[in-house]
Amino acid sequence: MKEQRVRDIAWAIEQNPVEVTIYRTQRVLSEGHYTETTMEVGTYRVRIFLNDRNIPVKLIDEGGRALRSVTWSMLCDASADVKAGANVVDVVDVPMLGKLKVVNLIPLSVQGEVVGYQVQLQGMDE
């Protein structure tokens, strides 16, 4: 069962793969204050896809124009080092889409063992 799910995730990624680089900014308590460190986590082969179009999107009225916020998802295997939390911010650099911030991380598990991740991403203003 586990091996089948691993093969299913690998097959889904190979249908439309993209090489992404993940950067991590971590806040660490040091000498009574928080310091932020940024590092490159690595390059991974993943699948990026647009979330379901039926999900309500937030319209932002900015300077007389309406901007539509779009969320993306990423499917990756268990070898990907992706984190999301209060003191950790992962940013995924995607070719042609730019930098997307990890908002939510859902582990995909079979019989208690993680076989992949589905990650919700959000565009970043630079």
Where along the chain do its domains lie? 2-123
CA 61 to chain centre: 26
Which pTM was predicted?
Answer: 0.81
d(CA 74, CA 1): 23
Q: Are 77 and 115 in contact (CB under 8 A)?
A: yes
Residue position matching structure tokens 């908002």: 103
Per-residue pLDDT of the chain (126 residues; tens, 9 = 90+): 889 999 999 999 999 999 999 999 999 888 888 889 999 999 999 999 987 655 555 555 556 555 556 789 999 999 999 999 889 999 999 998 899 999 999 999 999 999 999 999 988 765
Residue position matching structure tokens 């009225």: 61
CA distances (Å), 93 to each of 3, 50, 55, 74, 105, in order? Answer: 29, 16, 24, 12, 17
Q: Are 18 and 97 in contact (CB under 8 A)?
A: no
2-123: CATH class: mainly beta
